[in-house]
Amino acid sequence: MSAHPTIAGFGYHEITDDPSASGFQRTGARPYTLTPRAFAAHLDQMAASEARPMRVTDIDFTRSGRCLVLTFDDGGKSAVHAGDALARRGWTGHFFIVSSLIGTRTFATASDIRYLASCGHVVGTHTHTHPDIFPDLTPERMLEEWRTSGDAISEIVGAPCLTASVPGGDISRQVLESAARAGVQYLFTSEPWLSPRDLAAGARVGGSRGRAVSLHLGALALTPGDRRLSRARPLLPQGGNVPRPHP
């Protein structure tokens, strides 16, 4: 069996003391908000571990080892605070932007997004309009969501948009294929796989076949060529030691 890394991914949303000032304002979004104090406690626990948060684009998928990645969905205004909290420790994260909301009242501006990229963080797409049940879209609509958002983000940061996060985290073959067609090379999901799964016979994503496995808290092992990462998402507003998967 070929060597591959084991990757633990933790997915966050808003990091703020005032949920009304950042991100989606619907009731269902509130449980995914952490206070800055709780977030700092999470980072302290990570600092005591062997792995340090890194960019998925820096991972060598042909070598074994343990890697840790942190993601932040939606692109709310608190993304800048989260990015600065990581930068103070010399760490990097991944910020996935809903492009239709850039610059609206509770979401990051184009200037904020450029700032995050200038700090070394990865900025990717969380689609253009954040459809709640993404796998239910037609393949054409999926592709439009990825491409519209990817183009907008590329224009802001001045570089290709190669990373993405699926709204809601659920995937299907059409979701994977549409992301690959849009040029996505690293796709984050919330699928709770417990053992390796081969892609369906003959299916190709990103020009290659492969298999992925996600373990209980978002740990993931990948073979070269397949870049589907699964994350655990911390839900407790006041912190806690055990993140729980996104519903």
Q: pLDDT at position 2, please? A: 60
Task: Using DSSP, state whether 103 is helix, strand or coil.
Answer: coil
Identify the bridge partners of residue 214 per DSSP, sorted by sequence position.
220
pTM confidence score: 0.82
Element (H, E) at 181: helix 173-181
> Which two structure tokens, joined as six digits, stand for 247?
């519903």
Confidence (pLDDT) at 239: 34
Per-residue pLDDT for 19 more than 70? yes
Q: How many helices (H) and strands (E) does the chain have?
A: 5, 10
SS3 87: helix
Instruction: Catalogue the E-assigned strands of 75-166.
Output: 94-97, 122-125, 163-165
152-156, 182-186, 218-222: least confident range: 218-222
Give yes or no for residue 217 having a pLDDT over 70: no
Residue 237 has pLDDT above 70, yes or no: no
Q: Which residues make beta-bridge pairs with 219? A: 8
In three-state secondary structure terms, 5 is strand
User: In terms of CATH, what superfamily is 5-230?
Assistant: Glycoside hydrolase/deacetylase (3.20.20.370)
Q: Residue 17 — very low, low, confident or very high, per pLDDT cuts 50/70/90?
A: very high
Residues forming beta bridges with residue 7, ordered by sequence position: 67, 220
**What average pLDDT does this structure show over 151-164?**
96
Give residue 230's pLDDT: 57
The listed range with the strongest mean pLDDT (57-66, 118-127, 204-213) is: 118-127
- In this prediction, residues 199-219 reach a mean pLDDT of 31
- In the Cβ-directed half-sphere of 201, how many Cα atoms lie within 13 Å? 0
Q: What is the pLDDT of residue 192?
A: 59
Mean pLDDT of 65-82: 94
